[in-house]
């Protein structure tokens, strides 16, 4: 009966080929359902370790859900599901296959709680499971996880992964991960020395951290090798740290520039000591909040566009408020700086309390659009997207303002009125109108700054107060009446501050900058770039 035997053999083969996955799934399912009985973080951790030990990549979905707190136990049958919020209940799906598993009311399921320690364990487990993933990004992150955890048991899996890896970048990371695992294993000294070199060549913070913790427990030759590697990495990192400081300085400078550039118009060009300047910034930030709130309600898809939409609106709203202040109060006070100071101070308090009454005293959430969230790595520099965009934005605003002042007829009239009011008036320029427009322009620019600052600071009625002193400092330091002075002043103060901060601390650093400015003003009362001319002397 050869035919019969062949048939039987075939059946057996098919069965053998088909069952491993099924059998594993069944094992996984049992393990997963064990989570339902785990009543402490330690018990859950143990179950996760067991799941990781199966090495079955199918467990990834369940583990992922566990770490993000989406895993639930159905109380009725103690089965584990992935749950997604839907109305008052949850939409359940199978934790292994992702298949739909009906719905459940809130009281019918219980969330499996996670904490940081558990999340780390799950992350490491997922790292081990996704080494063989088809997605290079998953393999990369798996390599990174193993690099940090340095699990010696992963060496065989890593060897296999390195052998079949085609992507050079991923391969490098895998080799580093293997080196990290070798360090923690009981490999011979020569192999460990080679591993140290591999990690040292990586040269970043993670590598430093790893070698440092290794050095603490190492002995003899290896300890020396580790110390040498640490010294080498620290040397390169010190250079990068200086670069990082410059970048932080530029970033702080751009914030100062944004806050001050509007004041450079109202105070610098017009000479109005405008204590309500910070509140114009705040109004711009609140405009952003209102725009985002409306977008969230009516068309959430547009969220990434919320800032471009808010920009012109913030400009208009702040400019309008500025116009009202100028026409209503400030125009009666030209030439009386003390009264202007007091009146605008009063206006700032009124505006703060008005915002507090309308929007409430608590912070308002202004979200970062996706293109402004997160950071990217430039060598060892961490550059956050929001800071980068704010630097770019500050420079664009500055350029536009420069263009407006030097190339438009309104700008020409503004400069004419500042330099010699009576002559300008005799030439037929309506000086009151120019005053109003200049003040509105300065206020509008402050509003635009508010849109940017809402991305890094909190949107509360006090937002403006934090910037008013800094703004005056920048304008006075840079030279009253000179836009370029404001630019140079802002970046100088930013970089100076950031270089002092690591040595003196944030509080003393700020004091030191203030003292330096006072000394500087003693020496050069008109700031960095002094305006010369008859009008200035008068």
Partner 1 sequence: MRGMTARFTKSLAAAAIASGLAWPSLAQAEGDTIKIGILHSLSGTMAISETTLKDAMLMLIDEQNKKGGVLGKKLEAVVVDPASDWPLFAEKARDLISKDKVAAVFGCWTSVSRKSVLPVFEELDNILFYPVQYEGEESQRNVFYTGAAPNQQAIPAVDYLMSEEGGSVKRWVLAGTDYVYPQTTNKILEAYLKSKGVADEDIMINYTPFGHSDWQTIVTDIKNFGSAGKKTAVVSTINGDANVPFYKELANQGIKAEDIPVIAFSVGEEELAGLDTGPLVGHLAAWNYFQSVDTDANAEFIETWRAFTKNDKRVTNDPMEAHYIGFNMWVKAVEKAGTTEPDQVIDAMIGVSVPNLSGGYSAMMPNHHITKPVLIGEIQEDGQFETVWQTPGLVPGDEWSDYLPESKDLIADWRAPMSCGNFNVATGKCGGKGIN
Judged by the rule CB under 8 A, the positions of this chain that interact with partner 1 are 41-42, 68-69, 113, 115-117, 119-120, 123, 205-206, 208-216, 241, 244-245, 248, 251-252, 255, 352-353, 356-358, 360-365, 367-368, 373-375, 382, 384-387, 456-462, 465-466, 498, 501-502, 505-507, 510
Which residue has 């292994």 as its token pair?
96
CB of 497 to partner 1, least distance (A): 8
Euclidean distance between CA atoms 386 and 390, whole angstroms: 6
User: Least distance to partner 1 from the beta carbon of 330, Å?
Assistant: 22
The nearer residue to partner 1, 248 or 529, going by C-beta atoms, is 248
Strands 71-74 and 109-111: antiparallel
Within 10 angstroms of residue 133's Cβ, the number of other Cβ atoms is: 16
Joined together, the tokens standing for residue 94 give 């199978």
Q: Which lies closer to partner 1 via its Cβ, residue 369 or residue 432?
A: 369
CB of 460 to partner 1, least distance (A): 6
- Find the shortest distance in angstroms from Cβ 531 to partner 1: 30
Give yes or no for a contact between 333 and 343, defined as CB atoms under 8 angstroms apart.
yes
DSSP state letters, 251-294: HHHHHHHHHHHHHIIIIIIT----TTHHHHHHHHHHHHHHHHHH
At residue 92, the 3 state secondary structure works out as: strand
CB of 37 or CB of 110, closer to partner 1: 110
Is residue 303 within 8 A of residue 291, CB to CB? The reply is: no
Report yes or no: 174 and 158 within 8 Å, Cβ to Cβ. yes
Nearest to partner 1 of 25, 206 (CB atom): 206
Q: What is the DSSP letter of 459?
A: B
Centroid of chain to Cα 75 = 40
Residues whose CB is less than 8 angstroms from the CB of residue 392 and which lie 6 or more positions away in sequence, other chains included: none
Q: How far apart are CA 404 and CA 128, in angstroms?
A: 59
Nearest to 340 by CA among 282, 274, 398, 439: 274
Q: Which is nearer to partner 1, 131 or 208 (CB)?
A: 208
Q: Coil, strand, or helix at residue 456?
A: coil
Nearer to partner 1, 183 or 264 (CB): 183
Task: Between 251 and 438, name the residue whose CB sits nearer to partner 1.
Answer: 251
- Which of helix, strand or coil describes residue 420? coil
Alpha-carbon span 207 to 328, nearest angstrom: 63
220 contacts 161 by C-beta, under 8 angstroms: no
Q: How far is the CB of 23 from partner 1 (least distance, A)?
A: 33
Tell me if 32 sits within 8 A of 95, measured CB to CB.
yes
Q: Which of 327, 308, 287, 318 is nearest to 446 (CA)?
A: 318
**Whose Cβ is closer to partner 1: residue 175's or residue 180's?**
180
Sign of CA dihedral 175, 178, 184, 187: negative
Residues with Cβ within 8 Å of 507's Cβ and at least 6 positions away in sequence, in order, are none
Element (H, E) at 166: none
Closer to partner 1 by CB, 315 or 389: give it. Answer: 389
Q: How far is the CB of 106 from partner 1 (least distance, A)?
A: 12
* CA 73 to chain CA mean position, Å: 35
* DSSP category for residue 188: -
- Rank residues 56 and 151 by Cβ distance to partner 1 and give the closer one: 151
Least distance (Å) between residue 342 CB and partner 1: 18
Q: How far is the CB of 386 from partner 1 (least distance, A)?
A: 6
State the minimum distance, in angstroms, from the CB of residue 464 to partner 1: 11
Shortest Cβ 96–partner 1 spacing (Å): 24
Nearer Cβ to partner 1 (28/281) = 281
Whether residue 211 contacts residue 227, with contact meaning beta carbons closer than 8 Å, is answered with: no
For the bound state, the minimum distance from the C-beta of residue 271 to partner 1, rounded and expressed in Å, comes to 29
Q: How far is the CB of 351 from partner 1 (least distance, A)?
A: 12
118 versus 325: smaller Cβ distance to partner 1: 118
């Amino acid at each position: 009966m050869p035919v019969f035997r062949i048939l039987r053999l075939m059946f057996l083969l098919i069965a053998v080929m088909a069952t491993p996955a099924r059998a594993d799934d069944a094992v996984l399912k049992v393990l997963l359902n064990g989570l339902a009985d785990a009543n402490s973080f330690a018990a859950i951790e143990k179950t996760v370790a067991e799941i990781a030990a199966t090495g079955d990549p199918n467990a990834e979905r369940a583990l992922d859900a566990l770490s993000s707190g989406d895993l639930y136990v159905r109380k009725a049958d103690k089965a584990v599901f992935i749950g997604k919020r839907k109305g008052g209940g949850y939409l359940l799906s199978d934790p292994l296959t992702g298949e739909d598993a009906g719905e459940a009311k809130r009281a019918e399921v219980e969330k499996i709680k996670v904490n940081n320690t558990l999340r780390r364990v799950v992350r490491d487990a997922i790292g081990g499971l996704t080494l063989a993933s088809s997605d290079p990004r998953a393999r990369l992150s798996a390599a990174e996880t193993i690099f940090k955890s340095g699990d010696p048991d992963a060496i065989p899996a890593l060897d296999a992964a390195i052998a079949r890896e085609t992507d050079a970048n991923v391969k490098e990371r895998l080799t580093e991960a293997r080196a990290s695992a070798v360090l923690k294993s009981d490999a011979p000294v020569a192999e460990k020395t080679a591993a140290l070199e591999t990690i040292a060549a990586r040269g970043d913070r993670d590598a430093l951290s790893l070698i440092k913790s290794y050095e603490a427990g190492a002995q003899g030759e290896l300890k020396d090798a580790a110390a040498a590697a640490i010294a080498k990495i620290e040397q390169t990192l010190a250079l990068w740290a200086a670069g990082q400081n410059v970048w932080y300085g530029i970033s702080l400078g751009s914030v100062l520039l944004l806050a001050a550039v509007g004041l450079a118009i109202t105070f610098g060009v017009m000479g109005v000591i405008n204590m309500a300047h910070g509140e114009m910034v705040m109004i711009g930030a609140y405009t952003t909040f209102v725009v985002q709130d409306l977008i969230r309600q009516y068309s959430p898809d547009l969220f990434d566009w919320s800032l471009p939409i808010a920009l012109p609106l913030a400009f208009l709203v702040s400019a309008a408020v500025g116009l009202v202040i100028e026409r209503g109060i400030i125009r009666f006070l030209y030439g009386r700086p003390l009264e202007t100071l007091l009146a605008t101070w009063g206006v700032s308090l009124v505006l703060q309390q008005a915002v507090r009454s309308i929007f409430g005293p608590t912070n308002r959430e202004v979200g970062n659009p996706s293109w402004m969230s997160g950071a990217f790595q430039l060598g060892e520099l961490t550059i956050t997207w929001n800071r980068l965009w704010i630097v770019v934005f500050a420079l664009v605003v500055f350029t536009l303002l420069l263009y407006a002042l030097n190339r438009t007829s309104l700008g020409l009239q503004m400069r004419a009125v500042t330099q010699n009011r009576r002559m300008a008036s005799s030439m037929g320029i309506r000086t009151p109108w120019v005053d109003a427009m200049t003040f509105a322009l300065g206020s509008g620019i402050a509003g635009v700054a508010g849109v940017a600052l809402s991305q890094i600071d909190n949107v509360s009625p006090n937002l403006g107060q934090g910037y008013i002193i800094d703004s005056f400092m920048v304008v006075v330091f840079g030279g009253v009446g000179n836009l370029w002075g404001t630019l140079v002043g802002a970046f100088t103060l930013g970089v100076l501050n950031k270089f002092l901060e690591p040595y003196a601390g944030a509080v003393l650093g700020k004091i030191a900058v203030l003292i330096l400015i006072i000394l500087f003003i003693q020496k050069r009362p008109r700031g960095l770039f002094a305006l010369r001319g008859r009008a200035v002397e008068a």
